[in-house]
Structure 1
Amino acid sequence: MPEEILADTEYHIEDDAELDRIIFHIVSPDLSTPKILMEVETPEDYSTFFIDRLRETTKGTKYRFQDNSWIKDQVRTALTSQHAFVDTSERLAEKFQELFQSDKRLIPGALMLLKIKNKDKTYGAIIKYDDMTVISYTTEVLNDGKAKPILNQFLNNFVQDKKAIQKSVLFDISCPNSSIICTDRSGSKGDITEKLKDFLQADRLFSSTLLTERLITALEETAKSQPTLIPPEIRKRLKSKIRQAVKDTVEFDPENHEQILTAAFGEAHKEDKIKKAFAASLKKQKISSEKFEISPEAIKQGSKRIKQTYEGVRVTYTSDDVNKNIFFEEDGAKKIIRIVTDQYVLEDESDD
């Protein structure tokens, strides 16, 4: 499947999105098989809570199912067939428990299957929710008017803290060729763990090389859209400055633009127009939520270099030409360009 076809998928959960169905089963390294539970009878009562959690997932990394992914067709069937939902959720839990049984990072919790109505779309989601101990409290007013705190400890709970979501997968079953969005707290540099990849049978949609190339393009588009805000010292060597900024970034964090904008544009990074233009360009390049490691191979140095004088004279040359066919010299405050050649191959007029 060509990358560009899947890349057009954009996930947005509407304000009036509704939780249509939800079921979860208990998974734990202490269990030989998951503890199977019944489907939640009134999902609409918890719609706001879980949909808010899934909005965090839309900030995750794009993946795509492999052609032979066992999970792809099962989940699509589960969310389009009234009777397959429960059976599929049990098979997912069994597979998850089996895959992660020997993984010491597996924290006891719930593996969820959710169906979300999102205007004219239907989203499906798989969430691994970790158990987290919380303390709740109430107060009791005593006879003397003082308020006495009463604490209660709960272990089996679903909390708002996004750290409680260990792994999550969001997919659009309305579009057969859509990419999927994944988050994995155990992963690094935007990637999910190898075990979760095996569970889903999925690969990252964009390679680090392509992501790096698109990041460079986004920065160049930002500079072109706001040329008056870019300092002259940076503007005159813009491409070189941007490539060096990307190279020095090492890892791009979509939730922290300040570092790379500062490296690329200096003080101009503080300008709201620069920030908005960069965010818009990242979205245009479809990498606005992609966290990734910079690929040095994608940072290609131009084969030719350019110098242009204040008077408008432009010289294009290669590094091999320097001090061989072209010489750059200084005479006090003056810059001197000296070119040595055997002949002119072009002597004409220009309308440019």
Structure 2
Amino acid sequence: MTTDIAEAVEYSIAEDAKLERIIFHIVSPNLETPMILMEVETPEDYSKFFIDRLKETLKGTTYIFRNDSWVNNQIKDALQSPHAFVDTSERLAQKFQELFKSDKRLIPGALMLLQIKNGAKTYGAIVKYDDMSVISYTTKPLKNGKTKPILNQFLNNFVQDKKAIQKSVLFDIKCPQQSIICTDRSGSKGDITEKLKDYLEADRLFTTTLLTERLIAALEETARANPELLPPEIKKKIKGKIKQAVKDIVEFDPENPDQVLTAAFGDAHKEEKIRKSFTASLKKKKISNEKFAISKDAIKQSPRRVRQTNEGVKVIYKNDDINKNIFFSEDGGKKVIKIVTDHYVLDDDTDE
């Protein structure tokens, strides 16, 4: 399946989603092979904790497994029998352990394989959880009426801090060959690292060129849906304004869209209707969670421009025509358009 025809799976995790299975193994640069652990016997006891962590993954980037991806094949094998789930987790941990040989940024932690029941769907997740040192405390009342704090330091732990999740991959268990959602704290501009891409044998679903084109289309769609909210000086040159707004940002983050919205729509970006319309358009174009670098190649300036008078006269021209075949000027506050040509190629009635 190629990325230009692949479909993005709609991912969501409901409040009543349940953690059905979880197993994890210890991976570390200090180990030759992973420390293999048994499956957690009562995953339901920790359901809310891990479900809440996985909801952060929903904000990740859409990828797709390559043909014959080893990890994808392992995921399919995990469905064959209850025991295959355990075997698969061990093989995934072994392959991940090999990354420590070439990626010095990795720190010790746990590689998890989880299975989540979400309504009629079943999701799977691969999560690299970093070890983080935390200090817990309890209190002890003393006879003199004072309360004594008792501190304990723990290294092997799973904490709520989303930064503890170094890498995560969420997939629909019934169709992992379609798009998957990935996060990688070591990545940049929404991308995961090359090491993780090689581990998964996966590529980003949408190219930066396509993402940029869809962002421009979403902004134009938002403008068309809310013409009454746009100032006249912006509305009359909206296409050019939008392209310039996108060109001026280095990357787009759907969680922080103010810069591009302000540049495109001016003060109108504060209007709740415009913001909701833009969010809906991003979702419709399946890029509502996509953080990406802007592709300059996608911002093509049209070879032709158009000016339309208040009376409905429309002039379409190329920049090269200005002051050669067409002249724009002002006379006493009036706009003057002068066109010089050898002959008319069209002089007919029109239904427009």
* Range of TM-score over shorter length: over 0.9
In structure 1, distance between residues paired with 2:27 and 2:116: 23
Contact 2:62-2:290 at 8 Å conserved across structures: yes
Contact 1:6-1:177 at 8 Å conserved across structures: no
Show structure 2 runs of 5+ residues with no match. Answer: none
Contact 1:23-1:38 at 8 Å conserved across structures: yes
In structure 2, distance between residues paired with 1:9 and 1:230: 34
Deviation at 1:124, TM superposition (A): 0.7
In structure 2, distance between residues paired with 1:103 and 1:177: 27
Structure 1 residue identity aligned to 2:66: Q
Contact 1:115-1:124 at 8 Å conserved across structures: yes
Normalization by structure 1: what TM-score? Answer: 0.97
Q: How does 1:23-62 map to 2 (within 5 A)?
A: 23-62=23-62
In structure 2, distance between residues paired with 1:247 and 1:138: 54
Q: What's 1:94 paired with?
A: 94
Deviation at 1:2, TM superposition (A): 4.1
Deviation at 1:50, TM superposition (A): 0.5
In structure 1, distance between residues paired with 2:134 and 2:193: 28
Deviation at 1:80, TM superposition (A): 4.4
Q: How does 1:270-281 map to 2 (within 5 A)?
A: 270-281=270-281
Structure 1 residue identity aligned to 2:288: S
In structure 1, distance between residues paired with 2:5 and 2:82: 30
Contact 2:3-2:64 at 8 Å conserved across structures: no
Q: What's 1:317 paired with?
A: 317
Distance 1:278 1:193, change over 3 A: same
**1:291 aligned to 2:297?**
no
In structure 1, distance between residues paired with 2:110 and 2:83: 21
In structure 1, distance between residues paired with 2:90 and 2:2: 33
Q: After superposition, give the CA deviation of every residue in 1:116-146 in whole Å (9 maximum; x if it has no partner).
A: 1111111110000000011111111212222
Q: What's 1:327 paired with?
A: 327
Q: After superposition, give the CA deviation of every residue in 1:227-271 in whole Å (9 maximum; x if it has no partner).
A: 111111110000000000000011001210111101111101111
Contact 1:63-1:202 at 8 Å conserved across structures: yes
Deviation at 1:351, TM superposition (A): 2.8
Contact 1:5-1:177 at 8 Å conserved across structures: no
SS at structure 1 position matched to 2:79 = helix
Normalization by structure 2: what TM-score? Answer: 0.97
Show structure 1 runs of 5+ residues with no match. Answer: none
**1:105 aligned to 2:105?**
yes
Q: What's 1:268 paired with?
A: 268
Structure 1 residue identity aligned to 2:340: V
- Count residues in correspondence: 352
Contact 1:20-1:115 at 8 Å conserved across structures: yes
Q: Larger deviation: 69-78 or 162-171?
A: 69-78
Distance 1:33 1:176, change over 3 A: closer
**1:141 aligned to 2:141?**
yes
Deviation at 1:4, TM superposition (A): 5.5
Q: CA RMSD in A?
A: 1.2
Distance 1:8 1:167, change over 3 A: closer
Contact 1:253-1:291 at 8 Å conserved across structures: yes
Contact 1:100-1:195 at 8 Å conserved across structures: no
**1:208 aligned to 2:216?**
no
Deviation at 1:164, TM superposition (A): 0.2
Q: Which runs of 4+ in 1 moved over 6 A?
A: none
SS at structure 2 position matched to 1:20 = strand
Deviation at 1:181, TM superposition (A): 0.5
Deviation at 1:176, TM superposition (A): 5.0
- Calculate percent identity across the aligned residue pairs: 73
